[in-house]
């Protein structure tokens, strides 16, 4: 699987360290060759700390110009409420140690793999579509976190190289966040703050960034 060569050794070290300390870890891996990035891994710990790693991908700026985004490797701090939800679902669903894929012939939505490792044991399950609404909803939420992180990476590149494209990207993020498809905006607080402080940008771009910062609690 593309991306696995770098992801698994790094995550393995992190997971072993957390397990040695007796701390639980939930890992979510997403793969979909039809979109960019096609592969990412999100690790979540009970206190909301975690890591995100994704393959390199491209972003289209104004005028159709393509901006190449490098692979993303970063630590992050999620809200306690989000972390609590992740671990509550894991424990309610047998540490993900069950068949969570529906087996139904439905449109391909990407493979989501949830894995749990901690004092209670280990487990994992993978699915394209699950009839378990709790698993489906959690998968959607984790994808929404990844959407926020990737949007933050695009904003950083566009601020440097394509300010017209930044205007469009910011508008897209405002809409996506309003629809609940980009959540945990606090993970890109630093990016939004830099945009607000950049007086060389269009005021409407800075205004949208301030709006998003208001939701980044």
pLDDT tens string for the chain (217 positions)?
444 444 444 444 444 444 434 689 999 999 999 988 999 999 999 999 999 999 987 765 545 556 677 899 999 999 999 999 999 999 999 999 999 999 999 999 999 999 999 999 999 999 999 999 999 999 999 999 999 999 999 999 899 888 888 999 999 999 999 999 999 999 999 999 999 999 999 999 999 999 999 987 6
The whole-angstrom separation of Cα 163 and Cα 155 is 9
Distance of CA 113 to the CA centre of its chain: 14
pTM to 2 decimal places: 0.85
Q: CA-CA distance, 54 to 152, in Å (whole number)?
A: 13
Cα separation, 60 vs 74, in Å, equals 23
Q: Report the residue count for the chain.
A: 217
Distance CA 10, CA 17 (A): 11
Residue 105 and residue 201: Cα distance in Å, rounded? 47
Alpha carbon distances (Å) from 197 to 156, 161, 192, 210, 211: 13, 17, 9, 10, 14
């Amino acid at each position: 699987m593309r991306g696995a060569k770098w992801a698994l050794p790094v995550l393995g070290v992190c997971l072993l360290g957390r397990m040695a300390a007796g701390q639980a870890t939930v890992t979510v891996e997403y793969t979909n060759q039809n979109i960019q990035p096609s592969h990412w891994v999100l690790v979540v710990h009970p206190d909301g700390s975690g890591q995100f790693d994704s393959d390199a991908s491209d972003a289209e700026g104004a005028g159709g110009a393509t901006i190449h985004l490098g692979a993303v490797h970063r630590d992050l701090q999620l809200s306690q409420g989000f972390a609590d939800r992740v671990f509550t679902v894991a424990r309610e669903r047998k540490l993900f140690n069950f068949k969570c894929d529906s087996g139904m012939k439905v449109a391909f939505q990407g493979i989501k793999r949830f894995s749990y490792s901690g004092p209670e044991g280990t487990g994992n399950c993978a699915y394209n579509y699950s009839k378990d609404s709790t698993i489906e909803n959690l998968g959607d939420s984790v994808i929404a976190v990844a959407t926020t992180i990737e949007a933050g990476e695009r904003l950083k590149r566009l601020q440097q190289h394509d300010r017209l494209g930044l205007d469009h990207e910011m508008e897209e993020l405002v809409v996506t966040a309003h629809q609940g498809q980009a959540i945990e905006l606090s993970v890109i607080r630093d990016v939004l703050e830099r945009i607000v402080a950049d007086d060389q940008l269009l005021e409407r771009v800075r205004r949208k960034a301030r709006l998003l910062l208001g939701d980044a609690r």
